[in-house]
Amino acid sequence: FDANDLRSNIEIALFCYASQRDASTTERTHGDAEEFVIADSVFVKEKGRLVKVPFSEIRYAEAYDNYTKLFTAD
């Protein structure tokens, strides 16, 4: 693991723990592109991995049939 992978995995674990404790404070959507929403960011499934994307970095999104393409500052 590198530092970013470790940080992402910790945040995912914390999200899972929080969602089990209080399902009403977090959202989870299902589909081919599962997304996990936490206060200021979203976890997006990309190439089989979950990637954290802060809302502040998302410029716009294009919706398709079963997935959404996010465009970021990078």
pLDDT on residue 55: 87
Among 72, 64, 73, which residue's Cα sits nearest to residue 33?
A: 64
State the Cα–Cα distance between residues 37 and 24, nearest whole angstrom. 12
State the Cα–Cα distance between residues 48 and 18, nearest whole angstrom. 23
List per-block mean pLDDT (blocks of 10 residues) for the chain, which spans 74 residues.
70 70 48 56 80 87 83 83
pLDDT on residue 41: 81
Encoding tokens for residue 7?
Answer: 């940080």
